[in-house]
Structure 1
Amino acid sequence: MRIPFAYLMLLLLSSIAITPLNFILCKGEYSKVTCNLKEKQALLKFKKGLTDPMNWLSSWSECNQQDCCSWIGVRCNNNTGRITELSLGNSFHSQLEDSSLEDEEYYDHTLGGEISSSLNELEFLTSFNLSFNDFKSIQIPSFLGSLRSLTHLDLNVAGFSGLIPHQLGNLSNLHYLGLGDNWGLEADNLHWTSNLLSLKYLKLSDVYAHNYKHRSWPQVLGVLPSSITELHLSGCRLQSIAVPPQGYATIANFTSLRVLDISHNDLNDELKRVLSNFSTSLEILDLNSNNLQALGLSGNKLNGTIPKSLGLLSNLSFLLMGNNSLLRGPIDEAHFYKLSKLEYLDMSSTNLFLNVNSSWVPPFQLKHFRMYSCKMGPNFPVWLRNQKSLKQLWISNSRISDIVPSWFWNWMLQVRFVDISGNQMSGDISGILLNSSFINLSSNRLKGKLPQLTSHVNVLKVSKNSISGPISSFLCERMNRANKLAVLDVSNNLLSGELGNCWMHWESLKHLNLGTNNLFGKIPNSIGNLSRLVSLRLHNNSFAGYLPSTLQNCSQLGFLDICQNKFNQTIPLWIWDMTNLVILSLKSNYFMGKLHQKICDLSSLIVLDLSNNSLSGSIPSCLNKIETMVDAGSLGLSYSAFVYIYDYEPYKESLILDPKGNKLEYENNLPFVRTIDLSRNRLSGLIPSEITALTGMKFLNLSSNNLFGQIPKDIGEMKSLESLDLSMNYISGEIPQSLSSLSFLSCLNLSYNNLSGRIPKSTQLQSFDAYSYIGNAELCGDPLTKNCTRQKESNSDSFSRQGRDDSGKSEFYIGMGVGFAVSFWGVCSVLFCNRTWRHAYFQFVENMTNYIYVIAVLKVKWINGKLRSSQLIT
């Protein structure tokens, strides 16, 4: 039987209509996919918001021929093709135990950025893992509470902060919830967890209980679902606040709980009463740093001496007594008599005195020893030589004034963190080898040449010593080339010579401080290889020439301090394109030229110090575009320019400023400074009125220039001003009344200008002494001795005298004019009427003319003769 053609076409079209779309066109090729197209697009939008420095998600591409269910970290249902798992946890963290890896490498391997709400399209997603990444303190997105199919949500160690969104309580199918170890994550309450009836695992370690009422740990447990089998509340600052007995009844409901971690909290003996209500299902209980094997007394107001009975706690592994300034007295061998299990000892920031015999052999093997800001000296603690397991040594400011024994440097190779700064230790460090990740030898009496480094060294601080020799030898040493150094601070030493051209071997550097040495020469172009640099300190040396344009390659640079050198060019234009600059100090050089308007593009500046140069021209009127100066509390600062975060101790930048006439070192409070110093230059013109928009400014110094005109009348809008110096200019007019409203102003200098009128009366302006106003002849009123009333009377008298003087002068000039006219016409009338006198007068004039002509001709001839004779001689 013949089938009609029309029927065949209908059958073909029907088959096409019901066949799933299995092919997509990409660059002329077809690729088979099984995942849902809408979900694929959701993943691509999610990827677009992420930062991926290692390109882990390179397979996530529109044009990847692979099925998107084959993309890294993606798993789909085998039958439906719908996405069920996103596993994007950073597996690189597991390699950190390898001694060859450093924390810096870990952060280079993390995902970050923003989490797109496009994930709402993944309605069948059951597992979502972003652990061990770094999302730079963003808040956990509340829309995650809409992913109702989730059974596993792992956000541990992912860099989140802020309040935990209560919307997570909508995830009623959730079995696993990990929010732990996110520094800055807070919980105002945990009532939302009561809806998670299927929850088995909950990790809230280091989540701060925001509401004090919810820091009572029995109450915290009371609102959690009883289905939990594993609970981690370490470091949540929970307390054993007394509650009525009936408050413990709900705790007995945890019949399935096998693992409970409440370590590193503030729990005490009340703990025993609460734990007695738990069922026998409990298998693992972690009470570390809650007094059962740890004694934590840090950060209290304990006073008196430490009893020797402390040495009888034979199971003690953690002994923390730091930050108790009232604790005093000696600590000797008896205090450690039976502490054979002691691993962590902290007696820092106390008035205790470690008084042990030089031959003492401790019964313990410490892993961490902190005794900074506590007396150990004057002798070096030789008992340290027996500590074979130590990983952290922190004995800064411990009053040791001894020679560092030679064995110490080899012994130190095993220690990961070493801080012996702020003592008076002496010795020669030439040729020693350093291996610790963090090394702080600053503020001692060490001498010799800079040491050699292994590739493990991440931070090296040797500032404020007597280290000498050429810096180039250290930088170009072959062994030092294979380094991972992020911080190098050798400031305030005796280093000499030029920088050398070996910077291509130091590409890991982020903070470089070579200030206050005897360095000279030009800055080499190879310094542009430091592409990760965020802070460059070359202050107080003898560098000269120009700043190399290759510094533009250091695009992350936020702190540039090259003050007190001999740079003598114009400020290069490219410096105004470095928009990440937060601190720019070029003072005390020989920079010249005008200030370019592009200076206003540096919207993140908090310190602009161009003082003591030869800058000319006017002050740019666009300074109000520097946003951080407008709003003192503005966010978005690149804090990496101020601090390098490390495991045990951050490296902090500091800066010496003298905004109030006294030099002060700013460190912890440096991010809060807002200052502009253009003093001791050749600037001219008016003070731009736009500068009054800088309401966040704290210190403004425009002294010793050629500025004229008036003080802007709205200067009182600069409410945050603490110091204002406009002295030694040509500023005129009256002091604006608005200046008296600056309630934070503690330093004012308007001396040696052309100011006039009365100093506005206010408690603020009269609180300054007369030196703030002297050198202004027409200025009067308190605190000056010049009385404004007497000045007014004096001015009236002078006007009267001037009127009388002017009247007398007028009569004199009128008389003189009349006399001249009478004499002139008298002579003219005689010559006109008497012919003999007229002939004699004109004959006299003609004779004088001829005489002058002859004399002139002879003089010219004599000069020409002299010139010809001199030419012949040559």
Structure 2
Amino acid sequence: MDTLYSNLFNPPYISHFLLLLFLASSYLHTSSHFCFCLVDGVPSTGTVRSCIEEERSALLSFKQDLKDPSGRLSSWAGRDCCQWRGISCNNRTGHVAKANLRNQYPYVLYDEEWDELAYNQSCLGGKINPSLLSLKYLNYLDLSYNDFDGIHIPKFFGELKSLRYLNISSTSFSGEIPHSLGNLSELNYLDLGFSYSISLYSTNLNWLSHLSSLKYLNLNGVNLSSTGVTNWQHHLNMLPSLLELHLSNCFIESLPLSVQKINFTSLSVLDLSSNYFNTSSFPSWLFNLTNLRKLDLSWNSFGGSFLRVIGSMRKLKFLSLHDNNFIGEKIEEFLRSLSNYPNHTIALESLDLSYCGLEGQLPDSIGNLSSLKTLDLSSNNMNGSIPESLGKLSELVELDLSSNSWEGILKEAHFINLTRLKALSISTDPIEKPMSLNMAYDWVAPFKLHKLGIRYCRVGPGFWKLIQSQTELLYVTLQNTSISNSIPKEWLSKISSQVQHLDLSYNNFSGRLSLQLKFPKLQDISLDHNQLEGPLPLWLPNVYNVDFQSNLFSGPIPSNLDQLMPKLIYLDVSENRLNGTIPLSICNMKDLTVISLRNNQLFGEFPQWWSLWSTISIIDVSHNNLSGNIPSSMGIPSSLEIFKVNNNNFSGEIPLSLQNCTSLLILNLGGNKFIGNLPLWIGSNVSTLEVLTLQSNLLSGHIPHHFCNLPHLHVLDLAHNNFSGTIPKCLKNMTCLVEVNDACQNVSWYAGYLGKSAITLKGKELEYDDGNLALWGNLIDLSSNNFEGEIPEQVGSLVELSTLNLSMNQLTGEIPSSIGKLRWLETLDLSHNQLSGHIPQNFSSLTSLSHLNLSYNNLIGNIPSGNQLQTLDDPSIYEDNPLLCGPPLSTVCPGDDTRSRQTFTSEDHSKDENEMFWFYVGMALGFIIGFWAVCGTLVLKKSWRYAYFKFFDNVKEKVALIIALKVARWQGRL
């Protein structure tokens, strides 16, 4: 707003202003019935009047249709509406001039201090009564940060002709922006930005071109994808007075690369962030906006030579190019462009080049940007040492050099003049490019930091002294700093009492924490992945988030946990040595969202009063010795998204109350003693599952048909149970196993929690993070059950499948050839069944296959060869299939010799078949000719026949005589 009214204080107006002030003050000496005020930015005098009755009635009608849960409008009573909250009147005329109903607790994205409860209670809602039309002199209307629950923007807003200021941003309006807003010809300020989850759009911006007085326009979050490339730019070009333009996240597909004439050359602020334009070329017309002071092009795909010519925008103060595509561009060339004009250097105050793919070394010329207050070079590919000239940036307040490949040593000289520095973040490649922070023990830092983040850097002994001197620290992260000593109790006890966030994770701290440490304002603490011992340090009454996983903490969880940490939202004490039972008091923690007790030595039953957890999202108690039934009588909160109780001793049936969890993403009940059939609610009431693991239980029965209604499923593991019946054909309904679409992009993290699960892949049990399903691939494991019948042909529809395990069942019939279409299949195990027939020849098309097991079946014929199958040369793959032959088995297929077995091709196979054909033809002809040549002659010639049989009679008598003589001699010897 400073921009809009800056002209008021120009020299030509100051003299008029002082004159009026003098006259007004003089007149006030003679009359107590007059006042002096600013109306519409212009000084005015007039009598104080109460509001006009017609307008008072209009406001009451407007209030009647509103929802006001916090009673913000309770002051709207009495005769003088000019005294009502949010209402201001023109002191000269008494007309209502201003209605400011902005939510005093606005929603601010990523603001850790935002009070959600206060925001929700303070929101106005309901309907907007047209009675506002009676406020004919209303020039200011602000309804921002309220919640109108998807209703359309009233068309009658376009009839409030006196409006100069209209702000309905973040109010959850939906639908198309009414073209009637184009009637507000006096409008200077229009903010329609961000409806968040509600869709607000415009198909044509023709209405915008009529707002010729507009100085500020915010359409952030409004869908402009249907307006076309030239439409929106053409109508914006009709706004010559425009000073600020915000078009972030508007789904604009592309920008015109060139424009003949730009009319809004007075533009001072331009925000085109988060549009992901489909072109990487930078539009040249932007360089004509030489009055730009702020340019935000973050979250797009720009690249190329833009960095080399940015110096032409000489008034630029704020530049954000975060998350663009400047891969291969050198940081040196960019910094050179900023001072490549004679007698001029851009006086940038804020520069964000994070996530841009920039390479090269940071040059000494970085010290020339002496006006910089914020510098963010994080998450690039920069390397080399950081120049000491960085210490010349005396105006610097925030510095982020994290996630690059820095090397060398940071010393006092790098920070010597940074007296204004409040935030410092540094990290590097932890293996290839070691970096150290080495300050002298007696060095006195010139700054007082509020935020310090050091990751993957070695720190010297003087660093602890530096920490102690920073008495204003609010956020401290010292992660993976290669510290192997016991935890430095001295500096930890002397750390700033103002600290709110403390992260000492991934170090080698050992020993016990003192129970006397006091951090009254601490809200978030991470000590995970160290070697800390002793009881859990749960002495932090104001903490919301606790991460103590992967340490050596032992002993029980305190029974009064709800009193020790009443505000707890996130608790992760997994992978420790905790024992005892889970205290009942844990259910009294009504704000608890995440609880992970995974991989400890806990026993007993899980507490019964789950229904008290109104916001619980993640429960992970896997890998303990818990027993008993999972309670269903008390109900399980519908907010549950991840439920993992695997590898315990739970028994009974899977609780019916899980059907209330309609947002369930991961359900892991494996490695227990659950009995009964598959729950009917899976696939009917609950269809959101991405991971379903029920392996190694005592479950039985058939797979019901509606079980297939899991379109988001990536992992299905029912192995090692007693399931029977046939494998359902409806598996093809599991959409994410059939095709890739936006709905199948699995969530990479859940509420900041990364648990772990063991999955059997390629014959081995491997452990993966829950939040990274991409590493798991898509899996179906039905092994070690009693499934029977044939493998359904529909399995071939699951083309995104990477693991299919149907081993150790009673499956019969042939292997469906459709399996050969599973292009991403890495593991296929059909062993220990009763499958018969040939192995499909198209198995040679499984180019991703690395683990195959077809052993212990009744398969016959040649083993296919070629492509990936050629590398799977372990004979055990085909073991105990007696009628299989060919490599890698030693069994030779019929008609194959050693040579042909080694170099078998389809051509050889065809040649062998032809040779065998003529061999059998020759044998048949030889038999026929030989038989009839002898036998036919004997039949036709009687004398030959008598002679033939007489000859055989003589031979018979001679043979009999010889045998008799031999026998007589043998008996004589005896």
**Following the alignment from structure 2 to structure 1, what is the Cα–Cα distance between the partners of residues 206 and 511?**
61
Show CA shifts across 1:231-273 (max 9, x none): 556898999979778x74x535x5xx7x646598977465455
Aligned pairs (5 A) from 1:89-488: 89-90=169-170, 111=172, 115-117=174-176, 119-120=178-179, 122-124=181-183, 129-131=191-193, 133-135=195-197, 143=204, 147-149=208-210, 151=214, 152-155=216-219, 167-169=231-233, 170-171=235-236, 172-173=238-239, 175=242, 177=244, 179=246, 194=262, 196-197=264-265, 199-204=267-272, 214=282, 222-224=287-289, 226=291, 228=292, 248=311, 250-252=312-314, 254=315, 260=318, 268=335, 271=338, 277=344, 287-289=373-375, 292=393, 293=396, 295-307=399-411, 309-310=413-414, 312-315=416-419, 316-325=421-430, 326-328=432-434, 331-334=437-440, 337-350=444-457, 352-356=458-462, 362-365=468-471, 366-382=473-489, 383-385=491-493, 386-408=495-517, 410-411=518-519, 413-429=520-536, 432-450=539-557, 452=561, 454=565, 456-476=567-587, 480-481=588-589, 483-488=590-595
**Following the alignment from structure 1 to structure 2, what is the Cα–Cα distance between the partners of residues 526 and 490?**
23
- Amino acid across the alignment from 1:461: D
Aligned pairs (5 A) from 1:64-79: none
| Corresponding residue for residue 777 of structure 1 | 882
Tell me if the contact between 1:595 and 1:617 (Cα under 8 Å) persists in the aligned partners: yes
Quote how far apart the aligned CAs of 1:708 are. Answer: 0.6
Tell me if the contact between 2:177 and 2:200 (Cα under 8 Å) persists in the aligned partners: no
**Following the alignment from structure 1 to structure 2, what is the Cα–Cα distance between the partners of residues 134 and 509?**
24
Tell me if the contact between 1:680 and 1:705 (Cα under 8 Å) persists in the aligned partners: yes
Aligned pairs (5 A) from 1:744-759: 744-759=848-863
**Following the alignment from structure 1 to structure 2, what is the Cα–Cα distance between the partners of residues 522 and 559?**
20
Quote how far apart the aligned CAs of 1:207 are. Answer: 7.3
Out of 599-608 and 490-499, give the one that drifted further: 490-499
Quote how far apart the aligned CAs of 1:598 are. Answer: 0.8
**Following the alignment from structure 2 to structure 1, what is the Cα–Cα distance between the partners of residues 347 and 436?**
45
SS in 2 for 1:312: coil
SS in 1 for 2:507: coil
Call closer, same or farther: CA 1:236–1:596 in 2, change over 3 Å: closer
| Corresponding residue for residue 110 of structure 2 | none
Tell me if the contact between 2:350 and 2:372 (Cα under 8 Å) persists in the aligned partners: no
| Corresponding residue for residue 820 of structure 1 | none
Percent sequence identity is 28
**Following the alignment from structure 1 to structure 2, what is the Cα–Cα distance between the partners of residues 360 and 527?**
53
| Corresponding residue for residue 592 of structure 1 | 700
Tell me if the contact between 2:617 and 2:640 (Cα under 8 Å) persists in the aligned partners: yes
| Corresponding residue for residue 749 of structure 2 | 643
- Amino acid across the alignment from 1:407: Q
- Amino acid across the alignment from 1:496: F
Call closer, same or farther: CA 1:223–1:235 in 2, change over 3 Å: farther
Tell me if the contact between 1:262 and 1:286 (Cα under 8 Å) persists in the aligned partners: no
TM-score computed with the length of structure 2 as normaliser = 0.63
Out of 117-126 and 754-763, give the one that drifted further: 117-126
Structure 2 regions of 5+ residues with no counterpart?
Answer: 1-64, 66-118, 136-140, 145-152, 324-330, 352-370, 377-389, 899-915, 921-974
**Following the alignment from structure 1 to structure 2, what is the Cα–Cα distance between the partners of residues 622 and 283?**
57
| Corresponding residue for residue 807 of structure 2 | 703
Tell me if the contact between 1:295 and 1:319 (Cα under 8 Å) persists in the aligned partners: yes
Quote how far apart the aligned CAs of 1:581 are. Answer: 1.3
Quote how far apart the aligned CAs of 1:221 are. Answer: 6.0
Quote how far apart the aligned CAs of 1:465 are. Answer: 1.0
- Amino acid across the alignment from 2:698: Y
Show CA shifts across 1:286-329 (max 9, x none): 64025532554333322334445335344344443302334436
Tell me if the contact between 2:133 and 2:156 (Cα under 8 Å) persists in the aligned partners: no
| Corresponding residue for residue 666 of structure 1 | 768
- Amino acid across the alignment from 1:662: K
Aligned pairs (5 A) from 1:598-677: 598-631=706-739, 633-637=740-744, 639=746, 643-645=749-751, 650-667=752-769, 669-671=772-774, 673-677=777-781
**Following the alignment from structure 1 to structure 2, what is the Cα–Cα distance between the partners of residues 69 and 665?**
68
Aligned pairs (5 A) from 1:536-575: 536-575=643-682
SS in 2 for 1:568: strand
SS in 1 for 2:434: strand
Tell me if the contact between 1:604 and 1:637 (Cα under 8 Å) persists in the aligned partners: yes
Call closer, same or farther: CA 1:313–1:445 in 2, change over 3 Å: farther
RMSD: 4.4
**Following the alignment from structure 1 to structure 2, what is the Cα–Cα distance between the partners of residues 160 and 368?**
39
- Amino acid across the alignment from 1:148: S
**Following the alignment from structure 2 to structure 1, what is the Cα–Cα distance between the partners of residues 606 and 889?**
53
Show CA shifts across 1:530-579 (max 9, x none): 12111111111111112222222111112111111111111121122111
**Following the alignment from structure 2 to structure 1, what is the Cα–Cα distance between the partners of residues 157 and 221?**
31
1:579 aligns with 2:661: no
1:494 aligns with 2:601: yes
Quote how far apart the aligned CAs of 1:588 are. Answer: 0.8
SS in 2 for 1:509: coil
| Corresponding residue for residue 14 of structure 1 | none
**Following the alignment from structure 1 to structure 2, what is the Cα–Cα distance between the partners of residues 430 and 355?**
26
Call closer, same or farther: CA 1:659–1:159 in 2, change over 3 Å: farther
Call closer, same or farther: CA 1:637–1:679 in 2, change over 3 Å: same
Tell me if the contact between 2:700 and 2:723 (Cα under 8 Å) persists in the aligned partners: yes
Call closer, same or farther: CA 1:622–1:264 in 2, change over 3 Å: closer
**Following the alignment from structure 2 to structure 1, what is the Cα–Cα distance between the partners of residues 755 and 536?**
25
**Following the alignment from structure 2 to structure 1, what is the Cα–Cα distance between the partners of residues 251 and 619?**
29
Q: Residue 60 of structure 1 is aligned with which of 102, 110, 127?
A: 127
| Corresponding residue for residue 617 of structure 2 | 510
How many residues in Structure 1 have an aligned counterpart in Structure 2?
698
Tell me if the contact between 1:234 and 1:261 (Cα under 8 Å) persists in the aligned partners: no
**Following the alignment from structure 2 to structure 1, what is the Cα–Cα distance between the partners of residues 403 and 837?**
57
**Following the alignment from structure 1 to structure 2, what is the Cα–Cα distance between the partners of residues 484 and 234?**
35
Quote how far apart the aligned CAs of 1:440 are. Answer: 1.3
- Amino acid across the alignment from 2:375: S
**Following the alignment from structure 1 to structure 2, what is the Cα–Cα distance between the partners of residues 156 and 449?**
51
Call closer, same or farther: CA 1:251–1:431 in 2, change over 3 Å: closer
Quote how far apart the aligned CAs of 1:83 are. Answer: 11
SS in 2 for 1:571: coil
Call closer, same or farther: CA 1:118–1:78 in 2, change over 3 Å: closer
SS in 1 for 2:844: helix
Call closer, same or farther: CA 1:388–1:183 in 2, change over 3 Å: farther
Out of 286-295 and 692-701, give the one that drifted further: 286-295
Tell me if the contact between 2:812 and 2:836 (Cα under 8 Å) persists in the aligned partners: yes
Tell me if the contact between 2:863 and 2:884 (Cα under 8 Å) persists in the aligned partners: yes
